[in-house]
Amino acid sequence: MYKDYLRHEDICLHAVGKGSAGLQFMAEHIPDVLLLDLNLPDMDGMDILKVVHEKKWPCNVVVITAYGSVDVAVDAMRYGAFDFIEKPFSGKRLLVTLRNALDSRTLQNEVDQLRQGFRTHYHGFVGASLVMQTIYRIIDSAAPSKATVFITGESGTGKEVCAEALHQQSPRGKNPFIALNCAAIPHDLMESEIFGHVKGAFTGAASERKGAAAQADGGTLFLDEICEMDIGLQVK
């Protein structure tokens, strides 16, 4: 009868005749809406409602019974039933209830997705404001790219934290993250720090040195305070 009522609806409908078969199906395919008759041949439908409630399955349950009472309705609502229909009922009543349950489930799914995307912690960042959510999304967008990223901001705003988050979020995350403070390195040693040198390349070069660029190979090289570097070296 239910299948006949719903034959014109644009839904994927799966019907079972026993509670055990319903639980087995839902263990593998959780539906958006469950039309649950309480008077089942092998078990009490209320036990199924309790399972859905305990497992917190994302499913709106519409309870159907021919033995309606205030106590049954209260028990059903206590265990999270979305609505309660008492037999006999019309096809129109079933359709309205089902559509309401589906609309409610769709809305709840969208809310859950928004909550999942709302982050209070993100790698080294701590912040939940809308501005921080925007920053997290920008990092998400930039991280997969191999392009150079220019991070700006006043001192102490977290530029290095941002660089590390970009690195950790990227496919390079398991490779080295090398940070170089350009403001703290003398001009004449900067080229050697970045690109390295061989033994005897200049006075005091007693051994071969691997530069920051080589150390960061496959990972990320972060040039902190790059604006303090000599303009010629910036170009290079």
CATH number at residue 78: 3.40.50.2300
pLDDT, residue 50, reads: 93
What one-character DSSP code corresponds to residue 60? E
The whole-number average pLDDT for the span 178-189 is: 90
82 and 186 share one domain: no
The whole-number average pLDDT for the span 142-157 is: 92
**CA 33 distance to own-chain centroid:** 24
193 and 226 share one domain: yes
Separation between Cα atoms, residue 188 and residue 153, nearest integer Å: 27
Measured from the Cβ of residue 222, the count of other Cβ atoms closer than 10 Å reads 22
68 and 51 share one domain: yes
Q: Looking at the predicted structure, is the pLDDT value of residue 101 above 90?
A: yes
Could you tell me which of 203, 170, 207, 166 has the C-alpha nearest to residue 188?
A: 203
- DSSP 3-state of 48: helix
The reported pTM is: 0.51
Mean pLDDT of the chain: 89
Residue ranges making up the domain that contains 203: 175-236
162 and 194 share one domain: no
- DSSP 3-state of 149: coil
137 and 153 share one domain: yes
Could you tell me which of 179, 175, 180 has the C-alpha nearest to residue 219?
A: 175
163 and 218 share one domain: no
In which band, very low, low, confident or very high, does the pLDDT at 16 lie, cut at 50, 70 and 90?
very high
92 and 13 share one domain: yes
Compute CA distances 147 → 15, 97, 182, whole Å.
53, 52, 20
The whole-number average pLDDT for the span 9-26 is: 92
Q: Are 194 and 217 in contact (CB under 8 A)?
A: no
> What is the number of domains present in the chain?
3
pLDDT, residue 39, reads: 86
Could you tell me which of 98, 68, 71, 66 has the C-alpha nearest to residue 83?
A: 98
17 and 101 share one domain: yes
22 and 67 share one domain: yes
Task: Name the residue type at position 111.
Answer: V
143 and 204 share one domain: no
Query: Across 159-211, where does the E strand assignment appear?
Result: 177-181, 196-197, 209-210
The whole-number average pLDDT for the span 129-138 is: 89
Range of lowest pLDDT (16-25, 109-118, 132-141, 151-160): 109-118
